Copies of this chain bind each other. A is one copy, B any other.
Amino acid sequence: MSTLTLHHLEYSQSFRILWLLEELGVDYSLKLYDRDPQSRLAPADYKAMSPTGTAPFITDGELTLAETSAIVDYILDKHDAQQRLRPPAGHPSRLRYLFWLHASQGSMMPLLLMDSVMRMGKQHELLQTLQGVFLGPRMDALLQQAEQDLARTAWLAGDDLTAADIVMVYGMEGARARGYITEEHTGCCAWLDRVHALPSFQSAQKKDDRPSIVFA
């Protein structure tokens, strides 16, 4: 019996680990945690258990691991021997796989985090300037790159679903919820539709039991 447990915080970056586990058909346990209704933060017991105080984290026997992409690579090490979701060095999809896997947490999520700060401090002139000069152009460049790649193939790295799609979904949903992705981003919208139609995504959604993966 597997000892792998996903500690899943509602409306958080951990949904992607849930989807990954469903896509791989891994035997695992799921523990669900609600956010504090007032502060919207993770409950105290969750923060105490997570090595970085953040979601997601997993436990597996003696091991506890935080950080989305580290968890993704750990799970792929153990449960994707054929490298179906992680194109290896030399694979034609390798380059785009690397770009999108790392762009998710390295660019998209920081921009959305900054967007949240902007929204809180929008009266402040300097922050507005920063949004115009810094955030906007970077988000546009990323979405333009996604449109270009998704005009060529169905998935971000190539013709097949990879872990890069799984890791990118949270940023893409967030970017649409905040109006960065519009109807004009036809590639991104079609990609989101394709994601939502996957049986593994749907069974993850059933277990998550929330109307969407980001706060609407």
CA distance A153 to B66 in the complex (A): 20
The yes or no answer to A130 lying at the interface (CB within 8 A) is yes
Counting contact residues on chain A (CB < 8 A from B), the size range is 35 or more
A67 and B107 contact, Cβ closer than 8 Å, known pairs A53-B137, A73-B102, A138-B52: yes
CA distance A12 to B113 in the complex (A): 20
A98 and B124 contact, Cβ closer than 8 Å, known pairs A67-B107, A137-B53, A145-B52: no
| Identical copies of this chain, number | 2
CA distance A67 to B98 in the complex (A): 9
Q: How far is the CB of A209 from chain B (nearest CB, A)?
A: 26
Interface of A is mostly: helix
Q: Do residues B127 and A117 form an inter-chain contact, with CB atoms below 8 A?
A: yes
Q: How far is the CB of A1 from chain B (nearest CB, A)?
A: 21
A95 and B53 contact, Cβ closer than 8 Å, known pairs A117-B114, A121-B127: no
A105 — nearest CB in chain B belongs to which residue? B106
4 more CB-based (< 8 A) A-B contacts, given A39-B133, A68-B106, A70-B95:
A69-B106, A105-B106, A106-B106, A109-B110
